[in-house]
């Protein structure tokens, strides 16, 4: 059933974009030419049917293009795309539809993203730091745990964390065998703060 709604206010988001509030709630943003095209005026009515057309034909389409454009430059997590679209002023319902679209077409895949991230970082960062960074990117705990388990337990060569510790020490141009006890303690403390396990640090330093 068609319902008449009231356009509460029109606020400029920037010089070209206008935020439209319907029945006192933020609905979407449009360009000036679209405001004119759909005859949207503050204090006047808009039908629910017109609102749905705008959301489907303009807002959803524009949000999909933005999301795909973001992914052209680098892979992103679902959370990162959600945040970028939300920050760009797209309403929650539109963001959910875009995420569903991206997942359906495999434009985003948090499992794949997490696995690739771990493979790239595991020889330079501690497992704890990698876990924290994935969490900050919005990757779910079960995905992080599963990927870390797979990437580390299936490692046939030297422990990735031991390699990362070695690389961190090499970057400092340090020869562990020439360090005094106090100097080794300082190096150990520095590496521990970066998330490496004490016993693994000692295996390289001793």
Secondary structure, 3-state, 141-181: HHHHHHHHHHHHHCCCCCCHHHHHHHHHHHHCCCCHHHCCH
pLDDT average, residue stretch 145-165: 77
pLDDT average, residue stretch 56-79: 96
pLDDT score at 1: 66
Condensed to tens digits (0 to 9), the pLDDT of residues 101-153 reads: 999 999 999 999 999 999 999 888 888 899 999 999 999 999 999 999 888 77
Select from 6, 10, 48 the least CA-distant residue to 30.
Answer: 10
| Full DSSP string of the chain | ---EEEEEEEEESSSSEEEEEETTEEEEEEEHHHHHHTT--TTSEEEHHHHHHHIIIIIIHHHHHHHHHHHHHS---HHHHHHHHHHTT--HHHHHHHHHHHHHTTS--HHHHHHHHHHHHTTTS-HHHHHHHHHHTT--HHHHHHHHHHHHHT--SS-HHHHHHHHHHHHTT--GGG--HHHHHHHHHHHHHTT--HHHHHHHH-
pLDDT score at 163: 78
Higher pLDDT, residue 146 or 180: 146
Measured in degrees and rounded to the nearest 5, phi and psi for residue 27 equal -110, -50
Q: Which two three-digit tokens encode residue 29?
A: 């943003």
Q: Are 110 and 143 in contact (CB under 8 A)?
A: yes
Asked if residue 156 has pLDDT above 60, the reply is no
Model confidence band, residue 183 (pLDDT cutoffs 50, 70, 90) = confident
pLDDT score at 67: 97
pLDDT score at 154: 58
Domain 4-104 has CATH 1.10.3470: no
Domain ranges of the chain: 4-104, 110-205
Asked if residue 185 has pLDDT above 60, the reply is yes
Condensed to tens digits (0 to 9), the pLDDT of residues 10-30 reads: 999 888 999 999 999 999 999
pLDDT score at 157: 54
Q: Are 64 and 101 in contact (CB under 8 A)?
A: yes
Q: How far is CA 177 from the centre of its chain?
A: 42
């Amino acid at each position: 059933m068609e319902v008449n709604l009231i356009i509460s206010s029109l606020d400029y988001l920037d010089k070209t974009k206008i935020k439209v509030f319907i029945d006192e709630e933020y609905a979407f943003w449009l360009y000036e030419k679209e405001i004119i095209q759909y005859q949207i005026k503050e204090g006047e009515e808009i039908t629910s049917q017109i609102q749905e057309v705008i959301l489907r034909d303009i807002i959803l389409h524009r949000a999909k293009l933005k999301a795909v454009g973001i992914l052209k430059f680098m892979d992103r997590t679902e959370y990162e795309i959600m945040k970028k679209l939300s920050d760009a002023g797209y309403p929650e319902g539109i963001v959910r539809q875009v995420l569903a679209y991206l997942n359906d077409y495999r434009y985003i895949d948090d499992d794949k993203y997490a696995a690739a991230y771990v493979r790239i970082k595991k020889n330079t960062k501690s497992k704890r730091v990698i876990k924290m960074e994935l969490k900050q990117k919005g990757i779910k705990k079960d995905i992080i745990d599963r990927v870390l388990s797979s990437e580390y337990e299936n490692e046939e060569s030297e422990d990735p964390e031991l390699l990362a510790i070695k690389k961190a020490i090499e970057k400092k141009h340090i020869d562990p065998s020439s360090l005094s006890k106090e100097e080794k303690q300082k190096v150990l403390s520095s590496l521990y703060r970066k998330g490496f396990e004490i016993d693994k640090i000692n295996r390289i330093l001793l």
